[in-house]
Chain A
Amino acid sequence: QQQVKQSPQSLIVQKGGISIINCAYENTAFDYFPWYQQFPGKGPALLIAIRPDVSEKKEGRFTISFNKSAKQFSLHIMDSQPGDSATYFCAASLNSGYSTLTFGKGTMLLVSP
């Protein structure tokens, strides 16, 4: 049973455009939603995270939008740059320091120059 569904699998965006990646979760007990960014040949690294007490969190060009009633959250990358080309994973967990993360299957983003 896949608890976090991510779409699309791949995405091509022109430089300067907006990249949007969506995730949906099933477990209503989840209350921590991070996004990880992975460059080829590297391990994933935390990009931005949100808790369900807010509907949006912005860090620079990266924004998470959260819809608790729909059990959906999304990553928006504004003014996308070629350096943003990477694989992005959404994830969800319970609000605990040792709670395990459930990852989506990933979205491969290519930003064309």
Chain B
Amino acid sequence: NAGVTQTPKFRVLKTGQSMTLLCAQDMNHEYMYWYRQDPGMGLRLIHYSVGEGTTAKGEVPDGYNVSRLKKQNFLLGLESAAPSQTSVYFCASSYSAGGTSYEQYFGPGTRLTVT
């Protein structure tokens, strides 16, 4: 079991460029989440998904889009990157059908710098 994996690990973008962050989980989890982590700000939820084909906005969704075409994958897109999107991005997943744990399992993170 690889758990939650994220691609890429690091990326530098110029202002206005676009990119997609990929998250994959092999735990058959229903729910997936994208967070950003900034110094002194904790973890803030960007978007989340409660199942294949569904997505919802979190606390800080502006400037980001997401898609969940397959249960195991959750993509985060930046259409026109801005320096304010420089951050570390974490993907997480939780809950297997029939399970009782609400634990969220986090990936290793993607460090994104926008210049």
Contact = CB atoms under 8 A, between A and B. Distances in A.
B94 A97 contact: yes
Contacts of B78: none
B108 A43 contact: yes
A23 B91 CA distance: 24
Interface residues of B, number: 26
Nearest to A101: B104
Interface of B: 4, 30-31, 33, 40-45, 48, 50, 58, 90, 92, 94-95, 99, 102-109
Interface in A55-113: 89, 93, 95-101, 103-106
A54 interface: no
Given A97-B99, A98-B94, A106-B43, 5 more contacts: A42-B108, A44-B106, A89-B42, A89-B43, A105-B40
Contacts of A89: 42-43
17 contacts: A6-B42, A32-B102, A34-B102, A41-B109, A43-B4, A43-B109, A45-B106, A46-B103, A49-B102, A89-B43, A97-B30, A98-B31, A98-B48, A98-B94, A100-B48, A104-B42, A106-B43
A98 B50 contact: yes
A51 to B, nearest CB: 10
A27 interface: no
Contacts of A41: 108-109
A105 B58 CA distance: 16
Contacts of B90: 43-44
